[in-house]
Amino acid sequence: SAVISQKPSRDICQRGTSLTIQCQVDSQVTMMFWYRQQPGQSLTLIATANQGSEATYESGFVIDKFPISRPNLTFSTLTVSNMSPEDSSIYLCSVVEREVTGELFFGEGSRLTVL
């Protein structure tokens, strides 16, 4: 499967600041997604990162809070803006490599702690 690299792997942030997470895939993929896993919770989809157009956000997530870029088929960024302690989570970049299966593969994740 594709190698999905995320940076940073973890960070400690101050309330009110913003942080951008980068996701790099070693092959071109059409479908790229950003998920969140809050402490003790399961995974929730934030948005679909669309190449060349605006991301598609899930209910409860907005562009002002989680702006996403997808400049090409191998790279995406997620910014967590104006962070609060409730944003402390693991943020996961994920891709569907083969549309015939719909199997979703995850990067290593970025663990953010907001103080």
Partner 1 sequence: QKEVEQNSGPLSVPEGAIASLNCTYSDRGSQSFFWYRQYSGKSPELIMSIYSNGDKEDGRFTAQLNKASQYVSLLIRDSQPSDSATYLCAVNPRGSTLGRLYFGRGTQLTVWP
CB of 49 to partner 1, least distance (A): 10
106 binds partner 1 (CB under 8 A): yes
Secondary-structure percent of the chain, ordered helix, strand, coil, rounded to 5: 5, 50, 45
Residue from 19, 23, 33, 80 in contact with partner 1 (CB under 8 A): 33
13 binds partner 1 (CB under 8 A): no
CB of 13 to partner 1, least distance (A): 19
Cβ closest to partner 1, residue 9 vs residue 82: 9
96 binds partner 1 (CB under 8 A): yes
| Sign, Cα dihedral of 105, 45, 92, 32 | positive
| Sign, Cα dihedral of 94, 34, 40, 82 | positive
CB 80 within 8 A of CB 19: yes
CB 109 within 8 A of CB 89: no
Which window, 15-23, 67-75, 79-87, 104-112, contacts partner 1 (CB under 8 A)?
104-112
Footprint of partner 1 on 34-73 (CB under 8 A): 41-45, 48
Q: Give CA separation, 61 vs 5, 25, 51, 75, 102, in Å.
A: 24, 24, 19, 21, 23
Q: Which residues bind partner 1 (CB under 8 A)?
A: 1, 31, 33, 41-45, 48, 90, 92, 94-96, 99, 101-109
